[in-house]
Amino acid sequence: MADNMSAWVAGSDRPEKQVVRIGFLPLSDCGSLIMASLLGFDEKFGIKIALSKEASWASVRDKLGNGELDAAHVLYGLMYGVQMGIGSQARDMAVLMNLNHNGQAVTLSSSLAQQGAVDGASLAGVIRKAPRPYTFAHTFPTGTHAMYLHYWLAAHGIDPLREVRMVTVPPPQMVDNLRAGRMDGYCVGEPWGMKAVHDAIGVTAATTQEIWPDHPGKVLGTTADFVAHYPNTCRALIAAVLEAGRWLDASMENKQKMLETISQPHYVKTRQVWEEQHGLQFYNSGAVNFPYLSDGMWFMTQHRRWGLLKDDPDYLAVASKVNRIKLYRQAAEMTATPLPPGVLRSSTLIDGVVWDGSAPERYAASFAIRK
């Protein structure tokens, strides 16, 4: 393996750019990027990751676009939103790999919980019994949390476009806004759901793995232009993060070490707790990281469902363009990471509906609650 790795980083395969500027938001699922940098997995493949803590997903989007960041820990749905020109100028983007499965949650305020709303079904009952303007927050209009929150509400008969108000709030600001009574609940990545529980101002109504078991989380994203100019650098970056993810999933001790690291102020700045039994995964023998085309297509079907896309795109063609499976496979070879048999996968979501990447137009139009 060492000889094979040396062959990849030598000669024409050597990374074109040695220092790679990577943006991240303070969330637990940035862990593999941080540990890739701190433990030297990046240097093994001939690059150095320079981390940049960002304030919001809009900042990440803008800095990827203007070149201030080379790549980023970024919302899957955001990448496809930019690709399709939803809410911003369209730009060709590139998903290099998936960074995690699971690790998000829907949190409801303690006030709602006292009224009996502790899960989706009971929330629907409270909303019908005591109608008023209910406010829920996500982190970006086209993003992962927005789409999972919309899906979860609709699965329990709550129309997210007509029965509640949706607002966008950066992840680190969720807890303070809930505490101040400015919202009734939110969907965000950990540790910001668990912090509300520990602070006794909120309850976990659902984890996102209940909405979609082993769902895609953040991705390692960049622009198509960056990939075109620096393909070897991108391949080395994927390989470094794969090795870091493998290290993280190898033991609970390693995860705890990661949490101790990212809890520092210049990373996530929160408590060092690991409680989820079947939650956040970074590698899982490579099953976490493969950029399945069906995962990217799902976000477009939800953008279409909620009216963010006015027409059906060529779902498979767009996903094939954005998700850089060839580069990922090369990095998987470098790291002896197992590959799946195909580029689509099948999942059953919370409402019992199966998504497998087939018939995306029919799937997007099949929901009773939609735009």
Mean per-residue pLDDT over the chain, rounded:
93
Instruction: Specify whether 13 is located in the same domain as 75.
Output: yes
Instruction: Specify whether 17 is located in the same domain as 134.
Output: no
Domain assignment of residue 370, yes or no:
no
- Whichever domain contains 268, its CATH number is 3.40.190.10
Tell me the residue range of the domain where 172 lies. Answer: 104-211
Instruction: Specify whether 97 is located in the same domain as 220.
Output: yes
Instruction: Specify whether 203 is located in the same domain as 110.
Output: yes
Domain assignment of residue 192, yes or no:
yes
Instruction: Specify whether 116 is located in the same domain as 53.
Output: no
State the residue for tokens 């309850």: 203
Dihedral angle, C-alpha 82, 83, 84, 89, nearest 10 ° = 50
What pLDDT, on the 0 to 100 scale, is given for residue 274? 38
Domain assignment of residue 362, yes or no:
no
Instruction: Specify whether 45 is located in the same domain as 58.
Output: yes
Q: Are 291 and 323 in contact (CB under 8 A)?
A: yes
Domain assignment of residue 57, yes or no:
yes
Examine the fold and report which residue of 211, 243, 278 is the final residue of a domain before the chain moves on: 211
Give the HSE-up count for residue 26: Cα atoms under 13 Å, Cβ half-sphere. 21
What pLDDT, on the 0 to 100 scale, is given for residue 266? 57
Report pLDDT digits (tens) over 160-177: 999 999 999 999 999 999
Of all helices (H) and strands (E), which one includes residue 38? helix 31-38
Examine the fold and report which residue of 211, 230, 254 is the final residue of a domain before the chain moves on: 211
What pLDDT, on the 0 to 100 scale, is given for residue 221? 98
Q: What percent of the chain has pLDDT over 70?
A: 94
Report pLDDT digits (tens) over 11-55: 788 999 999 999 999 888 999 999 999 999 999 999 999 999 999
Instruction: Specify whether 96 is located in the same domain as 240.
Output: yes
Instruction: Specify whether 127 is located in the same domain as 13.
Output: no
Q: Flag whether pLDDT at 308 surpasses 80.
A: yes
Instruction: Specify whether 220 is located in the same domain as 325.
Output: yes
* Mean pLDDT along residues 260-281: 61
Domain assignment of residue 349, yes or no:
no
Number of domains observed in the structure of the chain = 2
Domain assignment of residue 276, yes or no:
yes
Residue 89, classed as helix, strand or coil, is coil
What pLDDT, on the 0 to 100 scale, is given for residue 268? 57
Domain assignment of residue 145, yes or no:
yes
What pLDDT, on the 0 to 100 scale, is given for residue 54? 95
Q: Flag whether pLDDT at 238 surpasses 80.
A: yes
pLDDT classification of 5: cutoffs 50, 70, 90: low
Examine the fold and report which residue of 211, 244, 278 is the final residue of a domain before the chain moves on: 211
Instruction: Specify whether 336 is located in the same domain as 238.
Output: yes
Instruction: Specify whether 197 is located in the same domain as 266.
Output: no
Number of other CB atoms surrounding residue 10 within 10 Å = 10
Q: Flag whether pLDDT at 272 surpasses 50.
A: no
Domain assignment of residue 354, yes or no:
no
Q: Is 291 exposed, middle or buried (0-12, 13-18, 19+ CB in 10 A)?
A: buried
Alpha-carbon distances of 23 from 74, 113, 192, rounded to whole Å: 8, 36, 19
* Mean pLDDT along residues 221-234: 98
Instruction: Specify whether 12 is located in the same domain as 88.
Output: yes
What pLDDT, on the 0 to 100 scale, is given for residue 38? 94
